[in-house]
C-alpha cells in the first residue's frame, strides 16, 4: 500500500478530486429540541454500532499501522463521548477534557485511501488476470 500522509488538513486524500470537504455546502436550519434529541439518539446508536464492529474486527485492521492507531483513537473518543453524553442537554464535560478528540474525518480518510487502493488492485487483477 502506498504511503499516506494525513495531517488533518487534507481535503482530498486520494488525489483523484473526489470529495473535497471544503467544497461541501453548509446547511443552516433551525431545528426544534425534539428533532435535535432524535438526531442525537440516532447518532449515539451509530457510534455504538461502529464501536461494536471495530472491536469485533480490529485484528483484521492491522492495529500496528496508522489506520489501526486511528481506530484505537476513535474507540477512545466514542466511549468517552458516550460517558459525557456529548451533544445532549445533560452534557457537563467535553471529550477534550479527557484527552481525546473526534478523529472521525481522519479515520474516514484512511478508509477512503484503503478502499481506493483495493479498487486499483481489483481493477489491475481484472485487467491482467489473477495469475499474472
The per-residue pLDDT for range 63-77, each reduced to its tens digit, is 678 888 899 999 999
pLDDT at 16: 54
Cell of 47: 457510534
Q: Can you give the residue ranges of every domain in the chain?
A: 29-128
Q: How many residues does the chain have?
A: 132
Displacement of CA 71 from its chain's centroid (Å): 8
Residue with cell 473535497: 20
pLDDT at 19: 56
The per-residue pLDDT for range 2-61, each reduced to its tens digit, is 444 444 444 444 555 555 556 666 666 777 888 888 888 898 899 999 999 999 988 887
Cα gap 39→121, rounded to integer Å: 38
**This prediction's pTM:** 0.67
Cell of 32: 426544534
Instruction: Name residues whose C-beta falls within 8 Å of residue 6's C-beta, 6 or more positions apart in sequence.
Output: 13, 66, 106, 109, 110, 113
Cα gap 81→100, rounded to integer Å: 9
Is the model's pLDDT at 101 over the cut of 50?
yes
pLDDT at 56: 92
Residue with cell 491482467: 128
pLDDT at 3: 40
Amino acid at each position: 500500500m502506498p504511503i499516506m500522509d494525513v495531517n488533518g488538513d487534507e481535503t482530498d486524500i486520494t488525489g483523484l478530486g473526489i470529495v473535497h470537504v471544503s467544497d461541501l455546502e453548509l446547511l443552516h436550519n433551525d431545528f426544534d429540541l425534539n428533532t435535535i434529541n432524535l438526531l442525537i439518539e440516532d447518532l449515539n446508536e451509530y457510534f455504538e454500532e461502529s464501536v461494536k464492529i471495530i472491536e469485533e474486527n480490529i485484528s483484521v485492521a492491522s492495529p500496528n499501522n496508522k489506520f489501526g492507531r486511528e481506530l484505537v483513537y476513535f474507540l477512545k473518543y466514542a466511549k468517552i463521548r458516550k460517558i459525557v453524553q456529548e451533544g445532549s442537554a445533560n452534557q457537563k464535560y467535553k471529550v477534550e477534557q479527557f484527552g481525546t478528540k473526534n478523529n472521525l474525518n481522519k479515520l474516514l480518510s484512511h478508509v477512503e485511501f484503503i478502499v481506493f487502493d483495493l479498487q486499483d488492485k481489483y481493477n489491475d487483477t481484472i485487467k491482467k488476470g489473477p495469475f499474472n
